């Protein structure tokens, strides 16, 4: 997640610096940038450039600034509102699909503040269908239908998940089993839908979700075992709350194609591994990559784990876990963007 923090007062700016210090330590936060004053014009620049915007200011200033920019439920960032004394962190926009509710809880915990979340499913302790999509990295193709499903969930009505009978959806079944007390669901199997889709049904409504690829980028010192790599991977997946069953591919640089630890992990997880050519790693550029001078001096490229994950995930992919070192192993995760 790429986050912008904007404030209007000196006290708010000081809080911005403190919050950035906390967020930068979180591997699920890819970048955090700070902006100060000139709120109206700054919001116009930030609104479609960041995954989340944290506004440290009065709610009236925030609402007047973003109101002209809001076009739909799915194309804006998560918006959080914090008072300059850090008493309250308010999830203001895109609570589910944008991740504002979860970010609100995270930020409130960092600042020892009170979180304020008002979405109906959350306050009624129900699991919204858009939360499921966000948690499992599924792209909702027809988001206008979401409202009908969440109303059904609030009314304790059954919704149906329909999947292809020839594909493995254990990650979905495990997730739903863990949340059986929150929603009433059943599963249907068919061969008539695409294997990379999940259809959710309620009466005459159908929600179509595309399964995005999640790629693990790996960098490691020579001789690291699969257990060494798995220790780092398990920590990363725990931070993201993702099951190993949800992973699509492993990736690394071609200089690691003989590393038995990576190859053994690929076999153990039954996930293919892609070793990216060094010239592709050298030429690849992204604002999200955190280059290492040590790696560049040793291998001639600034990034292995992040770049290989992004390249393997494909065009318009993005990092969801920045490179993090675990005793000689570096892990990064990227998610694809499907049409």
CB atoms near residue 248 (< 10 Å): 17
CB 53 within 8 A of CB 80: yes
CB atoms near residue 105 (< 10 Å): 14
- Is residue 32's pLDDT more than 70? yes
- Is residue 302's pLDDT more than 80? no
**319-335 mean pLDDT:** 95
Domains in the chain (CATH in brackets) are 2-118 (3.40.50.11220), 123-211 (no CATH), 214-335 (3.30.420.180)
Counting residues of the chain whose pLDDT is more than 70, the rounded percentage is 95
C-alpha 196, offset from chain centre: 19
How far apart (Å, rounded) are the C-alpha atoms in residues 90 and 211? 30
Q: What 8-state DSSP symbol labels residue 259?
A: -
pLDDT at 183: 81
Give the DSSP letter string of 107-121. Answer: HHHHHT-EEE---HH
The 3-state DSSP class for residue 26 equals coil
- Is residue 72's pLDDT more than 90? no
How wide is the angle at C-alpha 116 spanned by C-alphas 137 and 237, nearest 5°? 30
- CB burial of 41-68 (b: ≥16 within 10 Å; e: otherwise) equals ebbeebbeebbbbbbbbeeeebeebbee
pLDDT at 178: 82
**113-129 mean pLDDT:** 87
Give per-residue pLDDT as tens, 33-44. 999 988 889 999
**296-300 mean pLDDT:** 62
pLDDT at 291: 72
Which helix (DSSP H) or strand (DSSP E) does residue 41 occupy? helix 39-46
How far apart (Å, rounded) are the C-alpha atoms in residues 1 and 280? 25
Give per-residue pLDDT as tens, 160-214. 999 999 999 999 999 988 876 678 889 999 999 999 999 999 999 999 999 999 9
**220-247 mean pLDDT:** 94
pLDDT at 294: 63
- Is residue 339's pLDDT more than 70? no
Nearest to 138 by CA among 198, 78, 76, 95: 198
How far apart (Å, rounded) are the C-alpha atoms in residues 207 and 200? 5
Is the pTM higher than 0.85? The answer reads: yes
Any idea which residue has 């292809």 for tokens? 164
Burial class of residue 118 (count of CB atoms within 10 Å of its CB; 0-12, 13-18, 19+): exposed
pLDDT at 282: 85
CB 128 within 8 A of CB 96: yes
- Is residue 233's pLDDT more than 90? yes
Counting residues of the chain whose pLDDT is more than 90, the rounded percentage is 73
- Is residue 7's pLDDT more than 80? yes
Lowest mean pLDDT among 20-24, 179-183, 230-234: 179-183
């Amino acid at each position: 997640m790429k986050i912008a923090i904007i404030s209007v007062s000196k006290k708010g700016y000081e809080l911005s610096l403190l919050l950035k210090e906390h967020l930068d330590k979180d591997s699920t936060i890819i970048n955090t940038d700070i902006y100060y004053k000139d709120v109206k014009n700054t919001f116009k620049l930030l609104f479609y450039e960041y995954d989340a915007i944290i506004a440290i200011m009065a709610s009236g200033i925030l609402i007047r600034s973003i109101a002209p920019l809001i076009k739909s439920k799915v194309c804006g960032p998560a918006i959080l509102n914090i008072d300059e004394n850090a008493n309250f962190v308010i999830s203001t926009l895109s609570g589910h699909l944008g991740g504002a509710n979860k970010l609100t809880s995270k930020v409130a915990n960092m600042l020892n503040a009170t979180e304020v979340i008002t979405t109906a499913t959350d306050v009624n302790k129900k699991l919204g269908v858009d939360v499921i999509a966000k948690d499992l990295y599924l792209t909702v193709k027809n988001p206008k239908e979401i409202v009908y499903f969440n109303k059904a969930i609030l009314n304790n009505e059954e919704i149906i998940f329909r999947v292809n009978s020839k594909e493995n959806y254990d990650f979905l079944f495990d997730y739903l089993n863990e949340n059986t007390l929150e929603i009433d669901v059943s599963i249907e199997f068919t061969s008539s839908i695409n294997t990379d889709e999940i259809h959710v049904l309620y009466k005459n409504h159908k929600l179509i979700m595309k399964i995005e690829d999640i790629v693990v980028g790996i960098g490691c010192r020579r001789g690291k075992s699969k257990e060494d790599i798995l220790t780092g991977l398990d920590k990363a997946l725990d931070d993201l709350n993702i099951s190993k069953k949800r992973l699509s591919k492993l990736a690394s640089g071609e200089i690691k194609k003989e590393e038995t630890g990576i190859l053994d992990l690929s076999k153990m997880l039954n996930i293919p591994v892609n070793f990216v050519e060094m010239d592709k790693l050298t030429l690849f550029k992204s604002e999200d990559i955190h280059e290492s001078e040590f790696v560049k001096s040793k291998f001639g490229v600034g990034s292995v784990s992040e770049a290989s994950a992004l390249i393997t995930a494909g065009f318009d992919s993005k990092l969801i876990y920045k490179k993090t070192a675990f005793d000689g192993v570096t892990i990064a995760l990227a998610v694809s963007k499907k049409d």
